Amino acid sequence: MANVTQTPLNPGDSPLVREALSSVVSRETSATQTAAQPGETSSDGNGSWPRPAKTRVIAVANQKGGVGKTTTSVNIAAALSMHGQRVLVVDLDPQGNASTALATEHRGDVPDVYQVLVDDLPMADIVKQVPDMPNLYCAPATIDLAGAEIELVSLVAREARLRRALAAYDAVDLDYIVIDCPPSLGLLTVNALVAAEEVMIPIQCEYYALEGLGQLLRNVDLIKAHLNPALRLSTIVLTMYDGRTRLASQVADEVRAHFGETVLSTVIPRSVRLSEAPSYGQSVMTYDPGSSGAMAYMDAAREIAHRATVA
Ligand SMILES: Nc1ncnc2c1ncn2[C@@H]1O[C@H](COP(=O)(O)OP(=O)(O)OP(=O)(O)O)[C@@H](O)[C@H]1O
Ligand SMILES: [Mg+2]
């Protein structure tokens, strides 16, 4: 059962927050109070981080829109790639925001993830190396992908199309595959969760942050039970943290109290540089490496790289 009854809930908690939290399986919480403060970053040099024994496939999911899925996917991927990891970002959102941020063409007739999922095009035919980022690759999404939610319904193995495509793709000896999910729980996100072993959930440090989380976690459990036993919630990352507001720290505390060590110590602050970088076709890692957002994502990526990869 969930540990929700042992944890003080704030008087302002909405019923949805309670509902979301009540579906959370009890986790160890003792280590969570040692979390680093926002802005407490460490310098890093350009050394290599340990490469995982096998490719880690991470689905970045939250059906709530605008919580930082794409910003997190792109910047964690860029940070990992700058430390000797070979990383593929799969853009699974018809909006194509990750493709834009990685300066990967995704308009017109460009072959994209839609053709991989629906037409069985090999992944190798769509993956592009990200300009000026030697270890970073992108599988772009065009607006065509919007049709995939419907078209996948009638296809064989409709939930496992991405998994199959990735299994057949070994072109560049990848260490990480980061899948940027759309803001829905439809078949595209299901494909990501079936292809992945890890789910990373960005949570925005705002009111209603936990709304809908229960449903996402139930879907993860269902997919684990029926389609992908290896799947686990490995990482929660707190995004858009505004240290000046009490609300942000309350949300952060609440999330830590319930998810324990799953939550990264590093918190991503609000940083205008993070929102500017995509319009220059760059991650913030190259756009403004000294900014608070870049340093935070670098620290978050380091935590991920050094975490145990097996449950
Ligand atoms: N830490 C941050 N500080 C400031 N702005 C941010 C931060 N993280 C994300 N943003 C901005 O907030 C908006 C939403 O972020 P993002 O696109 O990463 O969310 P998303 O969850 O991928 O959205 P969607 O659900 O539409 O795919 C973007 O304009 C982005 O630039
Ligand atoms: Mg997005």
CA–CA separation, 203 and 61 (whole Å): 10
pLDDT of residue 32: 31
Walk me through the domains of the chain, giving residue ranges and CATH numbers.
52-307 (3.40.50.300)
Contacts of 226 (CB under 8 A, 6+ apart): none
221-264: pLDDT as tens digits: 999 999 999 999 999 999 999 989 999 999 999 999 999 999 99
Task: Give nearest CA residue, ligand 1 atom 29.
Answer: 275
128 lines ligand 1 (CB under 6 A): no
CA–CA separation, 126 and 171 (whole Å): 12
Pair 264, 238: CB distance under 8 Å: yes
Task: Give nearest CA residue, ligand 1 atom 10.
Answer: 275
Whether pLDDT at 159 is above 70: yes
CA–CA separation, 58 and 295 (whole Å): 21
Task: Please tell me which residue, 18 or 80, carries the higher pLDDT value.
Answer: 80
Which pLDDT band holds residue 172 (cuts at 50, 70, 90)? confident
Quick one: which atom of ligand 1 is closest to the CA of 62? 21
- With residues binned 3-state (H G I as helix, E B as strand, rest as coil), the percentages for the chain, rounded to 5, are 40, 15, 45
179-202: pLDDT as tens digits: 999 999 999 999 999 999 999 999
Distance from the alpha carbon of residue 278 to the mean position of ligand 2, in angstroms: 12
At residue 75, what is the residue type? Answer: N
Task: Give nearest CA residue, ligand 1 atom 16.
Answer: 68
pTM check: above 0.75 = yes
